[in-house]
Structure formats: C-alpha cells, structure tokens
C-alpha cells in the first residue's frame, strides 16, 4: 500500500536505463535525521520487478555500447563526476550529515575522499594493462584484462558516499556495467551522486543504475541473478556470509569488505602525545560506526594507567551534538536499532568489566530528539567477553593489557576479524615484526586510519575477501584472458 507523502520533502527515484523512474510498488522508504528525528526524504521501496528491470537495463547497455572498450571515455566520465562532486561538495556534505548523523567535518572529509578516489581511478581506466609471453618458437600468448560484465554493488550506511564510490569507481574504470543498491538507512546521498552522473554525457545510458529498497529482497535478487557477474558487498559479516552463499548458486565472483575488531597496540616507548588522540579518534570517529574502528586498545602494563587516564580525558572532552554544528566532535548513532545494540553491549561491559567513562545514552534537551550515546571506555574485560570479541559498531573502546611483545602479538591476533591494526612504538625492529605478524589487511605504524585510493585495503579472516583501492582493487573488477597465437 502506498503512503501519503509531503511534497515539500525531497523524493528520490530509481535511476534505470538513464531515466528516473518510480518503483512499481508505489511505496516509499522514509529517511530521518538521527540527530533530530525529522523526516528528510523519501526514496523508492523497490521490489523484485524493479530490480529485474534494472539488471536487464544494465546488461543491455553493457552489450550494446563501447564503454567496455573505450578507456578514454571512462576516464572522461569518472573525471567529470569528480568535477561535479567538487562543485557540489558542500551541499553533498550537508545532505550526508543530515541523513547519517556524522559531523559536518567528517562529511566534508568523506566527500573529498570520494573526489580523490574518482580522480585516481579515472587515470587507472587508461592503464588496464595485460602482458605478452613468448611461449615457444611459434607460440605467442597475450594475457588480456577484460571487464567482468555486470557488477552489483551493495553499499552500507556508515560511510555511504565513500564506500559506494570506492567500489563504483574501479568497477566503472575497468569497463563494467554497474547496479548500486544503497543501504535503506541512507539512500539520499547515493541518489544525489547519481543525479550528477545523469548530467555527464560520457556515461552511456543504462551503464550505471541505482535502485533503492530493502536488502532482504533486492540484495538477494542481485546475488542470485544470472545476469549479474559479480557482487561487491560492504557491511556486516553475517550478511556477507549470506551474500557469499547466494552468489554460489551460479558461481558468481564475490568481493566482501566486512567487519572488524581492530587493535591499537601501544608499547612502553610510544609517543603518547601523538598516540592518544589518534587512538581516541580511531574509535570515536563517526560515533564508532566504522569497520576499521580501533575498538580494542592493547597497552603495555607499565604505561596502562597513564594511557587509560589520557584516553578518559580525551573521551570526556569530546563535544557530542548535532553533527551539522561546526563545533561537533561526535554526532549521534545512525538509528534506534544501533543505539539499542550499543546499550546492550555496555550493559555486558558493566557486568563483566569496569566502565572507565561513558556507557550511557545522552538525554535531556536536544539529546532527546536523537540517538546520542556517550563516548565509552571499558576496562577489566576477559579475552572471551563479547565486548572484547564482537564488533559493536559504536563508540565503545575495550582496554586490554600485555606484558611482552609475544603476548601483544598473540592478543592482537586473538580475533575472528583481521581488517586493520595500529602499532605504536619507537622501535623499528619491533614495528616491523608486529606489522608482519599481525593478521590484518592494513597495519598502521605510529598513525591510524590513513587511507589512500592508491593503497590497497581489505581484510583477513572474517573481515572479508579481495581488495579494494589500488591496482589490486582495479583488478578485482577484471577477468584475465589468455589469447594464444600459433604461427606457421
């Protein structure tokens, strides 16, 4: 059943075959500002018919234009989108903050990173190289990199612009057609970016489409479709496992960037003036709703009290308020359900450990309108406590203590996840030993959360499959073909 809509509130449509269309369901998804609970937009509550039409449109476009064999066109299209996003960067940042809740400063960083990613992969579109091999006197091999075909991208709500562009840019640079299914919690920013794509003539009509709606039906239809050749999913590990199982129905290629429980390992010789604020930022940025959040801090026993005291001071000094305010250091959680999850873990932390600071919902005044939670640090937790082992996706930092390098390495690896880690030490030998020993896709030494489009990113263990960014990120979206020539 359709719902009445306020015509003053923005309405976002699906973009299919180069046209803006309403879902055949005639139903809408409502999006609310997590800082104020105000209605900010409507988007399409699409169904199986809509996603099937979208897949057919992208598949047809991929087969009937020169996109896959015209790298210069792809370069110009992606560079054009970077330019359009630069022009609209402040508007996009505002929409992102109002929809997701993160601070306006973080939103500006996210949009800037989107632009940088597009520029990098615009250039990469013209450097999809293969190689040649002399096999025998009369046998010559050409190893060719070709686009896979039609890619389905399912993007998350925590960094909805960047984590969409991070996959969309290399998929398009490699010459594929793409369908995007954004998270139902944050469709507005994704569709706003597609409005800019619609203004760029270098994108063939239909080569890239977006359809909004529930992941349980649309994501499943994409994962099982015979016309989609690859699924790229960014999100929680349990959903990633389900996507992987569905993709196996037709041996579809699957790329997964999943959860994390990343450690910051702080040795006695660490520069604490630098380490503490970056460790604090690593867990409290985006209210902890980031896959690479430094949600565990492993501290050498000789400096534990000092580090914990400094982290407590950092956390209690953060301004938690509506992200649209320039003074905000941390905004609200993205939804009531996410708030409930964080509160549940903090109750466990109170029972099984010691709350150093925080651990409660912020209430009173403007706080009552949104999903605000206090920056939280919990100590005295066992290694097998759920707070220590499970991804919370909130502003909750678990403290652990070690006495030797060997113990630190063992603790860092004592996790089902392996997305990222930080190592803080002045000892070069130790830093190299730790970085090589930690089973994670990214290890930062004396810094944290530094990401660049030219440097690969991805996870070990249950943090995912494949790599995004960099050359490997481009190659994820390519097939390798051997063309064999035998001469007389």
Long-range contacts of 201-205 (CB under 8 A, 24+ apart): 202/73, 202/74, 202/76, 202/77, 202/80, 203/77, 204/18, 204/61, 204/65, 204/66, 204/67, 205/17, 205/18, 205/19, 205/61
Instruction: Give the residue numbers spanning the domain of 42.
Output: 14-258+463-483
pLDDT attached to residue 143: 98
pLDDT attached to residue 5: 55
Claim to verify: residue 301 and residue 177 sit in the same structural domain: no
Claim to verify: residue 194 and residue 298 sit in the same structural domain: no
Claim to verify: residue 51 and residue 115 sit in the same structural domain: yes
Residue 457 falls within a domain, yes or no?
A: no
Reduced 3-state DSSP string for 232-292: EEECCHHHHHHHHHHHHHHCCEEEEECCCCCEEEECCCCCHHHHHHHHHHHHHHHHHCCCC
Residue 144 falls within a domain, yes or no?
A: yes
What's the number of domains the chain is made of? 2
In the block, tokens 């992606």 appear at 78
Claim to verify: residue 144 and residue 194 sit in the same structural domain: yes
Could you read off the pLDDT tens digit of each residue along the chain, which spans 488 residues?
344 556 589 999 999 999 999 999 999 999 999 999 999 999 999 999 999 999 999 999 999 999 999 999 999 999 999 999 999 999 999 999 999 999 999 999 999 999 999 999 999 999 999 999 999 999 999 999 999 999 999 999 999 999 999 999 999 999 999 999 999 999 999 999 999 999 999 999 999 999 999 988 899 999 999 999 999 999 999 999 999 999 998 899 999 999 999 999 999 999 999 999 999 999 999 999 999 999 999 999 999 999 999 999 999 999 999 999 999 999 999 999 999 999 999 999 999 999 999 999 999 999 999 999 999 999 999 999 999 999 999 999 999 999 999 999 999 999 999 999 999 999 999 999 999 999 999 999 999 999 999 999 999 999 999 999 999 999 999 999 999 999 98
pLDDT attached to residue 3: 46
Claim to verify: residue 63 and residue 185 sit in the same structural domain: yes
pLDDT attached to residue 1: 35
Q: Of 390, 355, 385, 388, give the one whose Cα is nearest residue 373.
A: 355
Residue by residue, DSSP assigns 408-422 as HHHHHH-SSEESEEE
Claim to verify: residue 187 and residue 140 sit in the same structural domain: yes
Claim to verify: residue 332 and residue 477 sit in the same structural domain: no
Per DSSP, helices labelled H in 64-186 are: 71-87, 89-100, 104-124, 162-173
Distance separating the N- and C-terminal Cα atoms of the chain: 69
**Catalytic-role residue among 98, 192, 257, 391:** 257
Rounded distance, CA 260 to CA 334, Å?
18
Claim to verify: residue 157 and residue 102 sit in the same structural domain: yes
Contacts of residue 432, defined as CB under 8 A and 6 or more positions apart, other chains included, come to none
Claim to verify: residue 234 and residue 344 sit in the same structural domain: no
Claim to verify: residue 50 and residue 188 sit in the same structural domain: yes
Assess whether 257 carries a catalytic annotation.
Answer: yes
Query: Domain holding 232: CATH number?
Result: 3.40.605.10
Residue 478 falls within a domain, yes or no?
A: yes
pTM of the prediction? 0.96
């Amino acid at each position: 059943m359709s719902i009445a809509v306020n015509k003053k509130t923005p309405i976002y449509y699906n973009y299919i075959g180069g046209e803006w269309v309403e879902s055949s369901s005639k139903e809408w998804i409502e999006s609310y500002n997590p800082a104020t609970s105000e209605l900010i937009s409507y988007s399409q509550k699409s169904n199986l018919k809509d996603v099937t039409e979208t897949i057919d449109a992208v598949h047809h476009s991929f087969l009937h234009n020169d996109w896959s064999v015209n790298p210069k066109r792809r370069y110009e299209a992606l560079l054009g989108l970077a330019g359009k996003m630069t022009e609209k960067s402040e508007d996009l940042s505002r929409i992102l903050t109002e929809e997701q809740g993160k601070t306006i400063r973080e939103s500006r960083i996210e949009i800037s990173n989107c632009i940088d990613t597009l520029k990098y992969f615009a250039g990469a579109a013209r450097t999809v190289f293969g190689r040649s091999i002399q096999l025998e006197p009369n046998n010559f091999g050409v190893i060719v990199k070709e686009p896979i075909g039609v890619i389905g991208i399912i993007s998350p709500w925590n960094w909805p612009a960047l984590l969409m562009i991070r996959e969309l840019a290399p998929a398009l640079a490699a010459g594929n057609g793409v369908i995007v299914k954004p998270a139902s919690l944050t469709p507005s920013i994704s569709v706003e970016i597609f409005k800019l794509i619609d203004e760029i003539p270098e994108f063939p009509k239909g080569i890239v489409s977006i359809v909004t709606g529930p992941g349980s039906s649309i994501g499943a239809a994409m994962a099982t479709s015979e016309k989609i050749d690859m699924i790229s999913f960014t999100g929680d590990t349990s959903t990633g496992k389900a996507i992987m199982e569905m993709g196996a129905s037709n041996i579809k290629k699957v790329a997964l960037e999943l959860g994390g429980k990343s450690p910051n390992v702080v040795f006695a010789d660490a520069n604490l003036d630098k380490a503490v604020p970056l460790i604090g930022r690593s867990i409290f940025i985006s209210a902890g709703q980031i896959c690479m959040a430094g949600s565990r801090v492993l501290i050498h026993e000789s400096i534990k009290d000092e580090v914990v005291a400094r982290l407590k001071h950092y956390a209690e000094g953060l301004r938690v308020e509506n992200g649209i305010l320039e003074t905000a250091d941390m905004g609200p959680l993205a939804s009531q359900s996410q708030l409930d999850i964080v509160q549940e873990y903090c109750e466990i932390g109170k029972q099984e450990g010691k709350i150093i600071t925080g651990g409660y919902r912020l209430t009173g005044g403007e706080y009552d309108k949104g999903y605000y939670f206090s920056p939280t640090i919990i100590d005295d937790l066992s290694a097998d406590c759920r707070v220590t082992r499970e991804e919370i996706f909130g502003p909750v930092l678990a403290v652990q203590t070690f006495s030797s390098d060997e113990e630190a390495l063992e603790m860092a690896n004592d996790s089902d996840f392996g997305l990222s880690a930080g190592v803080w030490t002045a000892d070069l030998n130790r830093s190299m030993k730790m970085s090589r020993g930690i089973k994670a896709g990214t290890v930062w030494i004396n810094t944290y959360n530094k990401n660049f489009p030219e440097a690969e990113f991805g996870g070990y263990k249950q943090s995912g499959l494949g790599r995004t960014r960099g050359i490997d990120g481009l190659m994820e979206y390519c097939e390798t073909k051997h063309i064999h020539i035998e001469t007389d």
